[in-house]
Amino acid sequence: MTEQKKRTTIVLFSGDYDKAMAAYIIANGAAAYDHEVTIFHTFWGLNALRKDEPMELKKGFLEKMFAKMMPRGADKMGLSNMNFAGMGPKMIKHVMKKHNAMTLSQLIEMAQEQDVKLVACTMTMDLLGLQQEELLDDIEYAGVAAYLADAEDGNVNLFI
């Protein structure tokens, strides 16, 4: 009798730095305990997957607006709380450095090394005008059906 692997499936909806950190810390922990882990990035959570560099892509007016207004990648994201006009994220990054805590970018890298499946929600990419070239390499693209297929057999299902 083979034992089935445990499974953790996280929807990352939020574009907040601290919430994305929480998602990736749980994901990396679960991967270390040999779970099959998926993070399904939708809406503002897609911003965690954006590459840092600006890009010249053909986009409509609204899509350009969104692209400008949304943070470009993990390091540019704000906090869910105590943002204080940007002072909060700086303070958090200071204490994280002091405590040798991993940054969100490092947590994402670690997740990729541990084979956490990173998925970008194609429906909301469309809505926000995000294109595959703008997002990190080696991620997958799928919709809500694929999410549900992963989640329905999951042990730990979270919406963050």
What is the nearest approach in angstroms of a second copy to the Cβ of residue 95?
Answer: 5
User: Which of residues 52, 115, 126, 140 is near a second copy by CB under 8 A?
Assistant: 126
Instruction: Name residue 7's beta-bridge partners.
Output: 36
The identity of residue 142, as a single letter, is: A
**CA-to-CA separations, 5 to 88, 147, 151, 153, in angstroms, rounded:** 39, 17, 13, 10
Q: How far is the CB of 18 from a second copy (least distance, A)?
A: 6
CA 103/CA 121 separation, integer angstroms: 24
> Between residue 24 and residue 83, which ones bind a second copy under the rule CB under 8 A?
25-26, 29-30, 33, 35, 42-44, 60, 62-63, 65-66, 69-70, 80-82
In the complex, least distance from residue 104 CB atom to a second copy, rounded to whole angstroms: 13
Tokens of residue 150, six digits: 């992963």
Q: What is the CA radius of gyration of the chain?
A: 16
Q: Which is nearer to a second copy, 55 or 82 (CB)?
A: 82
CB of 16 or CB of 117, closer to a second copy: 16
Query: Taking a C-beta distance cutoff of 8 angstroms, is the pair 34, 97 a contact?
Result: no
Q: Could you identify the residue written with the tokens 């907040």? A: 16
Structure tokens at 79: 């906090």
| Piece of 50-58, 104-112, 130-138, 149-157 that binds a second copy (CB under 8 A) | 149-157
Distance (Å, rounded) from C-alpha 44 to C-alpha 144? 16
Where do contacts with a second copy occur on this chain (CB under 8 A)?
Answer: 6, 8, 11, 13-15, 18-19, 22, 25-26, 29-30, 33, 35, 42-44, 60, 62-63, 65-66, 69-70, 80-82, 84, 91-92, 94-96, 98-99, 101, 123, 126-129, 144-145, 147-148, 151-160
